[in-house]
């Protein structure tokens, strides 16, 4: 049994199982109830990946949408940008499970093997070893869903159109949820960040992948791939929450933007 151990427990989120469960449940409970449920179950979420003290409330706005469907999703495709290792294409993991303080999540090995048939998908364990963009979402998923398997992928140098082709292969049916991990603008003054992030959010809602770049969203490749599939499949993407770290923590110098979106 090959286990991918948590790398950022105690940094990005609590390392204590009890404190972590309490934190996630509190974040979910504090989501503004006026946001209401979507017209139909989400096929995909776009959610941020910073420490819970910064982006947790925005991420919770996305994960709250899954609570009525806890038994629906049996497989999660979780895609995050690589922050530590440079490579071409997508990186899968050789791990049999990803562990958090709340327990282990089984990796969907069959889907890993399916994607490994592609030249630009490879097992690169180094791309997962210290990567937080996938890990920080697992406790939320463990709380809001029942049993599920995980296909964890980190993204290197890749075009959004190619991302769409790879997502299409693992799209699955109603049992499959796609989670795209991305923060928005980085280290601008508060007013400038709000303007940039609002433009980015509107581009995502109108399914305009060409308007996105790494300057607006570090996970723009995954988002662009989802937008292409949403267009071809007649799906909508709605914004659920849009805030920056200054609005959440009160530190309004140079801030990081966070958005939560649902595709349905």
Q: Could you say which DSSP state residue 68 is in?
A: G
For 9-40, write each residue's pLDDT tens digit: 999 999 999 999 999 999 999 998 777 788 99
What CA–CA distance (Å, rounded) separates 55 from 174? Answer: 28
Q: Tokens 């769409």 sit at which residue?
A: 164
What CA–CA distance (Å, rounded) separates 70 from 92? Answer: 26
Q: Tokens 């993204």 sit at which residue?
A: 155
Sequence-ordered list of residues with C-beta below 8 angstroms from that of 215, at least 6 positions apart, any chain: 185
For 76-108, write each residue's pLDDT tens digit: 999 999 999 999 999 999 999 999 999 999 999
Q: What DSSP line would sit under 168-210, residue for residue?
A: HHT--STTEEEEEE----EEEEHHHHHHHHHHHHHHHHTT-GG
Write down the domain spans for the chain.
3-263
For residues 219, 221, 224, 225, the Cα torsion angle rounded to the nearest 10 degrees is: -120
For 126-160, write each residue's pLDDT tens digit: 999 999 999 999 999 999 999 999 999 999 999 99
Query: Could you tell me which CATH class the domain 3-263 is placed in?
Result: alpha beta
What integer is the mean pLDDT of 171-186? 98
Q: Could you say which DSSP state residue 13 is in?
A: B
Residue 67 CA neighbour count, 13 Å, CB half: 17
């Amino acid at each position: 049994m090959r286990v991918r151990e948590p790398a950022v427990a105690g940094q990005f989120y609590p390392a204590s199982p009890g404190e972590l469960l309490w934190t996630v449940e509190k974040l979910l409970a504090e989501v503004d109830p006026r946001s209401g449920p979507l017209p139909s179950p989400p096929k995909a979420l776009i959610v941020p990946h910073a420490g819970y003290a910064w982006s947790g409330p925005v991420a919770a706005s996305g994960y709250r949408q899954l609570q009525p469907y806890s038994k629906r999703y049996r497989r999660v495709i979780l895609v995050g940008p690589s922050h530590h290792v440079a490579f071409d294409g997508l990186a899968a993991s050789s791990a049999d499970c990803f562990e958090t303080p709340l327990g282990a999540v089984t990796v969907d090995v069959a889907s890993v093997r399916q994607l490994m048939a592609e030249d630009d998908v490879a097992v690169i364990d180094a791309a997962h070893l210290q990567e937080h963009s996938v890990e920080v979402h697992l406790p939320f998923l463990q709380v809001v869903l029942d049993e599920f398997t995980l296909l964890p992928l980190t993204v290197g140098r890749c075009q959004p159109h190619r991302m769409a082709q790879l997502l299409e292969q693992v799209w699955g049916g109603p049992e499959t949820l796609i989670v795209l991990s991305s923060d928005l603008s980085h280290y601008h003054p508060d007013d400038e960040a709000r303007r940039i992030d609002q433009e980015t959010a509107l581009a995502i809602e109108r399914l305009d992948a060409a308007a996105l770049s790494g300057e607006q969203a570090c996970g723009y490749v995954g988002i662009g791939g989802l937008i292409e599939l949403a267009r071809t499949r007649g799906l909508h993407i709605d914004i659920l929450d849009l805030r920056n770290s200054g609005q959440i923590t009160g530190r309004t110098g140079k801030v990081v933007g966070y958005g939560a979106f649902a595709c349905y």
